[in-house]
Structure 1
Amino acid sequence: MSLINVTNLTFAYDGSYDNIFEDVNFQIDTDWKLGFTGRNGRGKTTFLNLLLGKYEYSGHISANVSFEYFPFQVNNRQDQTLDIINTIVPDYQHWELMRELTLLKVSEDVLYRPFESLSNGEQTKVLLAALFLKENSFLLIDEPTNHLDMNARKLVSEYLNTKSGYILVSHDRSFLDHCVDHILSINKTNIEIQKGNFSDWWENKQRQDHYELAENEKLRKDIKRLSDAAKRTSNWSHEVEKTKNGTRNSGSKVDKGYIGHKSAKMMKRSKSIEQRQESAIDERSKLLKNIESAEDLKITQLAYHKNQLAALEHVSIHYGEKVVCQDVSFMIEQGERIALSGKNGSGKSSIIKLLCGEHIDYTGTFRKGSQLQISYVSQDTSHLYGNLKDYAKINGIDESLFKAILRKLDFARVQFEKDISSFSGGQKKKVLIAKSLSEKVHLHIWDEPLNFIDVISRMQIEELLLEHAPTLLFVEHDRKFCDNVATKIIEL
């Protein structure tokens, strides 16, 4: 066991007015299985890069271990997979590699195929196997679940659970629950570490949020009561002070000394109440700092003139002689939220293309409503560039609604001035989702929409879909999201 000590860490990117981290202090045990969570853009990948020594910073990071980052950069993807592994880990025993591949249920023959011919899941598993061949290193594992199907995610989480000594960045709640024993969370104003898995951390966070909200309400009432009392006491003091220059009802002179003493006493009481009020305000300002915005997102979906929007009956899709799916039958009706599930390569994306109007070779019967308006969210974000104002105009959506949705998904206003191409992966996916939710359509089709999107935003999107019940067909490997959102699951 050794420790990684972070002391007074402060960092900002060149040209930025805001610090990503400011006087951050915490300690990590290198035997921990540490889940790393936080909103998109809060600095998770930045912190990993600081550990790797890629940026200059003020403060101290001390560690008696070396760091290894996943995913590895693979430049020559046409090379044999075994050659790729040899480049990443020059010194290892073949039996060690086979041990890791066996745990990940990867057959030996993939080692003798070009790396680019492997599926996304196979590539991820092979690179993870190479990662755990590196001895005496603390591992920085950055979002390994992207493009893994549900079965592969379960397998990889079980694999990671047999290991220790890593920081794992993931936004998949079920995945984190299966393979971490501590949570490192970047909050609005601090970084904290808690023992337990993600569900334990989330339960504690909700408990703390509810406590702060209750205390905030109590203090709000207390401040109002003290403010009213201070005003009354101040008014009384002024009224008493006025009588110093007057006379009593009997016509005798007033006792100015007595009245002055009484007025001063009341003024002192007024000042005391003001001080208590200021103290209460100061106490209140310490609350709510880490409560995440979870306001409702408002969307409007067009109503279609028929209940049934589309239907597939015994549809088989093929590319040349290769059949990607067979005998698929289901219908999409208004108000349904359909999860299209299945292993990678089972034809999910092909069915989406068929529904979206792309030319696909198929047999069977496919019907789609005439003049059906569809909003599509793709996996690809590489086409995004320009500012958000122009993007909204080009896509014919309401700019105010579009930006309001992004604000509620934790976009800082300063992001609105930046080029979309500079956004993080999660922020780009939020742009696509906000665009889709701003479009007036009959049907939303989302292909792996949550890749790179932070956990809290996922839960907000869940709440939105449950509240407004738009008609939706989606492919998503986040088990918790599917369980919570889908009204029907089509298994391919």
Structure 2
Amino acid sequence: MILLQVQQVSRRFGATVLFHDVTLDVSDHGRVALVGRNGAGKSTLIKMIAGETTPDDGQITRKRGLTVGYQAQNAGLNSTKTVWNEMLTVFAKLRAMEQKMHDLEGQMSDPQVIADADQLQQITKTYDQLQQDFSDQNGYGYQAEIRGVLHGFEFNEDYYDKPVSELSGGQRTQLALAKRLLEKPDLLILDEPTNHLDVETLTWLEGYLQSYPGALLVVSHDRYFLDHVATEVYDMSRGSLSHYQGNYSHFIDEKAQRLQQAWKEYDKQQTEISKLEDFVNRNIVRASTTKRAQARRKQLEKMDRLDRPEGDEKVARFSFRPHRQSGNVVLDVVNAAVGYDGHTLSSPINLDIKKHQAIAIVGPNGVGKSTLLKTILGKLPALKGQIIFGTGVDTGYYDQDQANLHDKKTVLHELWDDHPTTPEGDIRSILGSFLFTGSDVDKTVHSLSGGEKARLLLTKLALRHDNFLMLDEPTNHLDIDSREVLENALNDFDGTILFVSHDRYFINQIATQVIELSPNGTTRYLGNYDYYVSKKAEQDAYAAKEAAEAEAAHPTVTAPKQTQVDYQQQKDRQKAKRKLSRQVQALEDQLGDLEKEKTQIEETMSQPESFNDADKLADLQQQLDVVTTKLDQTEDDWTNKSLALEDFDDATD
């Protein structure tokens, strides 16, 4: 079933056509990705689809009653409520039903109502139907659902009572997305939902969206994310929209095949045209062949000529070329600790970086990845430990905050001031290779988009000719084409790379090793991101197996001190988990018994012989109140312990 159709839609800005005659369908439970380079018009189109703007031409039709939720990129939640109360607003209808149920419970305990059998029966019937509707709409689980989504975005219970207005911009953006997910619209539209999410949260979001009950329309530059979420891709390029079935990787392959086929058909037609034109030119003036030549001329005039196939728009072309080679040892970090004002974020940190390695640093937000790079560079002091550079190491740094740029300078002078002896023509030529052409070089840095500033930073970095590149989130603000250009430049780089990134596709393409940073320091994995994920899963499975075997065997062999400590901690965690699991199971059994008891009392109260016995009815109502209180308390206990068990599992994963 088609939920939404975009039909021959166009958008113009004055005489400039952004896109024209575009068509897009979203089906029930569709997983649609909209891709294209920065400025192609993706966000403009989805704002039309979301109903925020209208097209200049064409129309957008929706299924009757379709609910649409739109989350714009970097659009934070504005609210004076606490985090928890803001999430509760999503379930206002359920909470009203809940209050109505409590009101009816109060009426059913009223002696006057109890004495009126007909009224009691009617109220009981209304209550039963309301309770069924409440249960069907997850009324007994919506608070657990809120906790689950908040936990996925790393908002633990410490945040529940905090006002939304006191959160950071990034946190308010994540909270806005969390609220959209809880609303569960029929069509969820997300514009760059992965911005500023760490790997753990990205993985959780992918899993959540894969099981999302409605349809998805996603704009993203995160290729790994698109591969795991999208099942069809619309490519916005050169003012038009092309449709592809499959995920992002399949789209890339099919797009290349389509272009190759278009060239074959174009070349074939050009060959035919050349033959026809040659025949006409040679025979049009000869009496014996002029009629045949005229026929060929008419054939040429009627021919539906194919346009010359056009690939992607112009892309930046650059490289990183070091002036000199470093020694084999590039950097050693020994038992270091990083943080601010004496507060340690991560320790102990150990790095052993050799020439020509490309090392990715991954870890959750706030663990100190950017802080580590700044500490290595000497921009921040190490709280302890040693940082030792090798011989002949020239370090270049890409700052995700773009603090190395000067807002008031023009693009030209941002580069030229760093290299005053380089002729202006050479500077302009270099900028042109990074897609700064014509009047672009006269723009002030302040007026540039995030993507343009990122390209300017890369330009400056390329001109330094360092042999050790330290990059902090270099793909932020870059579209997919620019990310691929950067990947190619780094893969061709004859030097050493240490980088922080949440772009898992980028890590896969560049990294020869992955360093996981946690509060407990560093762990090294000798491969790319996919290897890191598989190795982590293998280690977790092995640790679980060892723990189970150790638990069963009760080994008495004396182990080294640290091994004993680790084993005892593992044993204590397993013991606590089993205890908590038994408590949850016991509470589930108790809930079942109490629900049966409550149902039996309610059925007894609804029987005719109870209506005429006010004392018996009052006694039953008293029993019902006691059971209901126990049921509510037990349900709260079950919810708390279930969440504790989930948190326990998360902490031990």
Q: Secondary structure at the match of 2:287?
A: helix
The one-letter code matched in structure 2 to 1:177 is D
Q: Does the CA contact (< 8 Å) of 2:83 and 2:164 recur in 1?
A: yes
**What corresponds to 1:247 in structure 2?**
none
**Cα separation, 2, equivalents of 1:221 and 1:469:** 44
Alignment of 1:49-448 (within 5 A): 49-59=47-57, 60-63=59-62, 64=64, 65-71=66-72, 72-75=75-78, 80-85=82-87, 93=95, 95-102=141-148, 105=152, 106=154, 107-115=156-164, 126-134=175-183, 136=185, 138-163=187-212, 164-216=214-266, 218=268, 229=278, 234=281, 261-262=287-288, 265=289, 269=293, 272=296, 276=300, 282-283=305-306, 285=307, 287-293=308-314, 297-368=318-389, 372-381=393-402, 385=407, 387-396=410-419, 399-407=427-435, 415=440, 418-448=443-473
Deviations 1:441-473 (A, max 9, x none): 232221111123222322222222222344322
Query: How far 1:295 moved relative to its partner?
Result: 7.5
Q: How much has 1:275 moved relative to structure 2?
A: 6.7
Calculate the aligned-residue CA RMSD, in Å: 3.6
Query: 3-state SS of the aligned residue for 1:45?
Result: helix
Contact kept in structure 1, 2:327 and 2:392, CA below 8 Å? no
Separation in structure 1 between the aligned mates of residue 270 and residue 446 of structure 2, nearest angstrom: 43
SS at match of 2:197: coil
SS of the residue corresponding to residue 261 of structure 1 reads coil
What CA distance in whole angstroms lies between the structure 2 residues aligned with 1:224 and 1:470? 50
Secondary structure of 1:392's aligned partner: helix
Report how far residue 204 of structure 1 moved.
1.4
Alignment CA distance shift 1:69-1:442 (3 Å):
same
State the Cα distance separating 1:314 from its structure 2 match. 1.5
Over 3 Å counting, the alpha-carbon distance change for 1:173 and 1:275 in structure 2 is same
State the secondary structure of the residue aligned to 1:128. helix
- Residues 20 and 42, structure 1, Cα contact 8 Å, conserved in 2: yes
Distance 2:383 2:346 in 1: 10
Shift of 1:311: 2.0
Which has the larger displacement, 358-367 or 421-430?
421-430
**Matched residue, 1:450:** 475
CA displacement at 1:153 relative to structure 2: 0.9
Report which of the two structures shows the higher radius of gyration computed on alpha carbons.
2
Secondary structure of the structure 2 residue equivalent to 1:358: coil
Give, as a single letter, the amino acid of the residue that structure 1 aligns with 2:262: E
Do the aligned partners of 2:30 and 2:216 also contact (CA within 8 Å) in 1?
Answer: yes
Structure 1 residue 26 corresponds to structure 2 residue 24: yes
Q: Alpha carbons of 1:416 and 1:100: their partners in 2 closer, same or farther (altered >3 Å)?
A: farther
Q: Deviations over 1:39-98 (max 9, x none)?
A: 111111112222344445312223243533225433468x63224445787656584253
Instruction: Provide the aligned length of Structure 1 versus Structure 2.
Output: 457
TM-aligned CA deviation for residue 222 of structure 1: 6.0
Does structure 1 retain, via aligned residues, the 8 Å contact 2:83–2:160?
yes
Alpha-carbon distance in structure 2 between the residues aligned to 1:51 and 1:261: 63
Q: Residues 153 and 419 (structure 1 numbering): CA distance in 2 closer, same or farther, change over 3 Å? A: same
Give a deviation string over 1:262-308, Cα, whole Å, max 9, x none: 4xx3696499479759959x32x2x4234455685344222145333
Q: Which has the higher contact order (CA 8 A, sep 6+)?
A: 1
Deviations 1:374-394 (A, max 9, x none): 332222248664543233223
Secondary structure of 2:160's aligned partner? helix
Cα 1:26–1:356 change in 2 (3 A) is same
TM-score scaled by structure 1?
A: 0.79
Q: Which amino acid aligns with 2:489?
A: L
Q: Is the 8 A contact 1:226 1:277 kept in 2?
A: no
Select the structure that is richer in helix: 2
1:41 is matched with 39
- Aligned-partner Cα distance in 1 for 2:302–2:439: 32
% same residue: 24
| Residues 1:185 and 1:91: Cα distance change in structure 2 (over 3 Å) | farther
Gaps of 5+ in 2: 96-138, 518-653
Classify 1:53/1:125 alpha carbon distance in 2 versus 1 (closer, same or farther; 3 Å). closer
Q: Is the 8 A contact 1:177 1:197 kept in 2?
A: yes
SS of structure 2 residue aligned to 1:131: helix
Give 5+ residue unaligned stretches, structure 1.
Answer: 242-259
The alignment partner of 1:132 has SS state of helix
Distance 1:187 1:97, change over 3 A: farther
Inter-partner Cα distance in structure 2 for 1:294 and 1:193: 22
TM-score, normalised on structure 2? 0.61
Q: Who is 1:244 aligned against?
A: none
Structure 2 counterpart of 1:82, one-letter code: W
SS of residue paired to 1:46:
helix
**8 Å CA contact 2:68, 2:187 repeated in 1:** yes
Counterpart residue identity of residue 399, structure 1 = I
1:91, 1:122 → 2: CA distance? 26
| 1:157 CA drift (Å) | 0.5
Distance 1:121 1:423, change over 3 A: closer
Q: CA deviation at 1:325?
A: 1.4
d(CA) in 2 for partners of 1:368, 1:85? 49
CA–CA distance in 1 between the matches of 2:318 and 2:301? 35
Q: Does 1:476 align with 2:496?
A: no
SS of 1:35 mapped into structure 2: strand
1:255 corresponds to: none
* 1:11 equivalent in alignment to 2:11: yes
Rounded Cα–Cα distance in structure 2 between residues aligned with 1:343 and 1:45:
28
Whole-Å Cα distance in 2 between the matches of residues 447 and 35 of structure 1? 27
What is the aligned partner in structure 1 of residue 645 from structure 2?
A: none
Measured at CA, do residues 429 and 32 of structure 1 come closer, stay the same or move farther in structure 2, by a change above 3 Å?
A: same
SS at match of 1:375: strand
